[in-house]
Amino acid sequence: MGKNARVGNWSPERLAQGLGWFSIGLGLAEFLAPRRVGKMIGVGGRHRLLLRLLGLREIASGIGILSQPRPAGWVWSRVGGDAVDLALLGGVMHPGSPTKSRVAAATAAVAGVTALDLFCGRELSRSSKAGDGGAVHVEKSVTINRTPEELYRFWRDFEKLPQFMNHLVSVTVNGPNRSHWVAKGPAGSTVEWDAEIVTDMPNEVIAWRSLEGADVNNAGSVRFEAAPGNRGTIVRVKIQYRPTGGRLGSTIAKMLGQSPEKQVTVDLYRFKQVMETGGIARTEGQPAGRARSTSRKYDDLVQR
């Protein structure tokens, strides 16, 4: 019913994710193997039904935490569950019982997790008052051996972006500052949104934001800065988005290697290849082709 977790320099959101996955793992153990869990914590196998019910509660808490960008309410529900667990363990801790030491150890473990839940719930409640609604921020950069003018001109033609942004299906410009975007979603689906340009400084910066009704709320900017020593241009991309499916969707995307953090990194290096060589190196289908590109650095980035 409990386990110590390390806080370290974790943000409350990351700590909440850890508690959410822990809840699901513990809940599955209690539901699927209640007798073994009962023996481990010193209550024997006579409380199987109760342990299964507690397991369902843990699973529900875990799913609730992972499905919300700011899961303060679900974390506080864990605190309530911890209080129930402590009361139940106190009720079975009889003096002279041969399993008293196991019950005491389980009680101490639950008390440790309760402290984590209290800390996490308090910090999430604080940050939610002044936070940005669970938005995720991504910032990446790359140096390209081309002038800011060339890079700005190519990027500003939004309909060309799918050439190097592999997750994009299409971009359709439908006005001076408006465009419609279609991107690949999970399990073969697509997500769409309309966007507008909010800042356009030729050869320097382009900033945008999605409009109301977007499948994925997002905003961002791309800057083109001359690199020192005439070594080309530093392209800096900043993106803010709210994950589809909340925190759970973001976590699963990262596990599958499809997170926007990874996409931006790979897309920037594909942009570099397009602008410096005229295309993206591909060898699939050639007689001596490989499943990898000719750039080890690029391959390493894709694999991360």
pLDDT computed for residue 244 by the predictor: 52
pLDDT at 21: 92
Which pLDDT value is given to residue 70?
66
pLDDT in tens, the chain (304 residues): 443 333 444 567 788 888 989 999 998 998 998 888 888 887 776 788 888 999 899 999 899 888 776 688 888 888 888 898 888 888 777 666 767 788 888 889 999 999 988 888 887 776 554 445 556 788 999 999 999 999 999 999 999 999 999 889 999 999 889 999 998 876 677 888 999 999 999 999 999 999 988 877 888 999 999 999 889 999 999 988 765 555 544 544 444 445 667 888 999 999 999 999 987 765 444 444 444 444 555 444 444 4
The pTM assigned to this predicted structure is 0.50
Report the C-alpha gap between 57 and 220 in whole angstroms.
Answer: 39
Strands (E), 148-260: 168-173, 178-184, 190-201, 205-210, 218-226, 233-241
